[in-house]
Amino acid sequence: MIQQATRRPRTSAVESDFFAGRLIRWQLVYGRHSLPWQGISDPYAIWISEIMLQQTQVSTVIPYYERFMTVFPNIAPLASAPVEEVLTLWSGLGYYSRGRNLHRTARMIMEQYGGAFPQDIATLQRLPGIGRSTAAAIAAFAFGKRCTILDGNVKRILIRYFGVNGHPGERMIEEQLWQLAEGLLPVEEDHKTIASYTQALMDLGALVCVRTQPRCEHCPLQADCYAYQNDLTAVLPAPKPRKTPPVKEIVHLILLNQGRILLKKRPASGIWGGLWCFPETSIDEDSVDYCKKNLHLQVLKFAVLPHLQHTFTHFKLIIQPQLLQSIMYLPECEENSEENDFLWMTIEEALQRAIPAPVRKLLLMTQPLLQSCVHE
């Protein structure tokens, strides 16, 4: 898949103003105008709303925002309150690190900036819990700074509008989206235009260019939206790419002795913790040597069985099973011995124990072979 915009981004002043102009005009008529944090330029109130709105819907945020602003109407009482009081007000809103960061930032602003919010976007970004897009929202709404937001909704709009191939979470795609978003900023630098444009982007993402079934018939960008014009709205943005899990290969040693096989109880923690498995070795190690050195067994290779695959959450395991005949009599180990977690047992006994699925499969594959050996 091509990891770049499928068409040349519009970057000229005329074109970006065309884009911004349509959005601003649309927002005036169809956008949201009565949210409690709208129409103000208080950086404190804008900051609180922006932090609350991260990963949270507007309808959920409104009562929390109103309660919070009643208790902490400005930065000074927030900074002097104990963090527990902030978290109590945050209770139920989720992502509690946001509440803790809010409190830390309030204290930093009081101590380092004399209680006044920094206006510079780079300084805002250095405050706890304020990322690049949140910093831009505060700077645009509160100070009319000509800077762009790029939250999840705006990424979706740009990916569809420009026909960008790739998942927005990929670093290259994200960087490309920042460049596109900056190129689309209105040329005019007045506070009202910047704030209206920022609100328009937010409203379009929340109300029209939604994740599933975007309402393109109501969209001011429809005429030159790549996804709409090419019937790609259902497939853009591209889903998160599935990573190919790493592959680990091991050898399972199926050791036979007098009609029994050797199993080892695995440590309580880790993969297959506490289950009975075959002794295992790496694919690079000679299994006969391994048995001699580690199990004190003299063995002969008997057969190589077809390999098995087992998928864990983070990797794929390929098991190469080898059948080996022990040619030395070994005394039976005590199952419940603390020191010795190896045990010889019949396949029927093994099948009664706590064993992982691949071991069960191998035991069943080995059973007829073992029976024929015993009968010979």
Place of tokens 């592959």: 247
The helix or strand, by DSSP H or E, that contains position 301, with its residue range, turns out to be strand 299-304
Tell me the C-alpha distance between 327 and 372, whole Å: 17
Q: Residue 238, class by beta-carbon neighbours within 10 Å (0-12 exposed, 13-18 middle, 19+ buried)?
A: middle
By the rule CB under 6 A, 233 interacts with ligand SF4: yes
Q: Residue 5, class by beta-carbon neighbours within 10 Å (0-12 exposed, 13-18 middle, 19+ buried)?
A: buried
Using CB under 6 A, which of the segments 19-27, 106-114, 156-164, 179-187 binds ligand SF4? 156-164
Q: Do 142 and 46 meet the contact criterion of CB atoms below 8 Å apart?
A: yes
SS3 content of the chain, % helix, strand, coil (to 5): 45, 15, 40
By the rule CB under 6 A, 214 interacts with ligand SF4: yes
Question: In the complex with ligand SF4, which residue's Cβ is closer, 75 or 158?
Answer: 158
By the rule CB under 6 A, 227 interacts with ligand SF4: yes
Q: Which of 124, 208, 291, 323 binds ligand SF4 (CB under 6 A)?
A: 208
| Residue 217 DSSP symbol | G
Using CB under 6 A, which of the segments 146-154, 176-184, 224-232, 273-281 binds ligand SF4? 224-232
Tell me the C-alpha distance between 78 and 68, whole Å: 9
By the rule CB under 6 A, 179 interacts with ligand SF4: no
Question: In the complex with ligand SF4, which residue's Cβ is closer, 138 or 221?
Answer: 221
Q: Which of 23, 225, 355, 370 binds ligand SF4 (CB under 6 A)?
A: 225
Min CB(117)–ligand SF4 separation in Å: 32
Q: Which of 37, 90, 141, 161 binds ligand SF4 (CB under 6 A)?
A: 161
Min CB(220)–ligand SF4 separation in Å: 8
Min CB(213)–ligand SF4 separation in Å: 10
The helix or strand, by DSSP H or E, that contains position 324, with its residue range, turns out to be strand 316-326
Using CB under 6 A, which of the segments 110-118, 131-139, 217-225, 351-359 binds ligand SF4? 217-225
Question: In the complex with ligand SF4, which residue's Cβ is closer, 61 or 157?
Answer: 157
Question: In the complex with ligand SF4, which residue's Cβ is closer, 20 or 79?
Answer: 20
Place of tokens 């395991």: 317
Produce one character per residue of 44-81: b if its CB has 16 or more CB atoms within 10 Å, e if not.
bbbbbbbbbbeeeeeeebeebbeebbeebeebeebbeb
In 3D space, the residue among 159, 215, 156, 150 whose CA is nearest the CA of residue 185 turns out to be 150
Question: In the complex with ligand SF4, which residue's Cβ is closer, 153 or 320?
Answer: 153
By the rule CB under 6 A, 209 interacts with ligand SF4: yes
By the rule CB under 6 A, 222 interacts with ligand SF4: yes
Residues with catalytic annotation? 50
Min CB(161)–ligand SF4 separation in Å: 5
Q: Which of 157, 180, 256, 324 binds ligand SF4 (CB under 6 A)?
A: 157
By the rule CB under 6 A, 147 interacts with ligand SF4: no
Helix (H, G, I), strand (E, B) or coil at 224: helix
Question: In the complex with ligand SF4, which residue's Cβ is closer, 18 or 95?
Answer: 18
By the rule CB under 6 A, 228 interacts with ligand SF4: yes
Helix (H, G, I), strand (E, B) or coil at 298: coil
By the rule CB under 6 A, 165 interacts with ligand SF4: no
By the rule CB under 6 A, 221 interacts with ligand SF4: yes
Output the CA torsion 36→42→46→49 (10° steps): -50
Q: Do 98 and 129 meet the contact criterion of CB atoms below 8 Å apart?
A: yes
By the rule CB under 6 A, 206 interacts with ligand SF4: no
- In the complex, the residues that contact ligand SF4 under the rule CB under 6 A are 157, 160-161, 208-209, 214, 216, 219, 221-222, 225, 227-228, 233
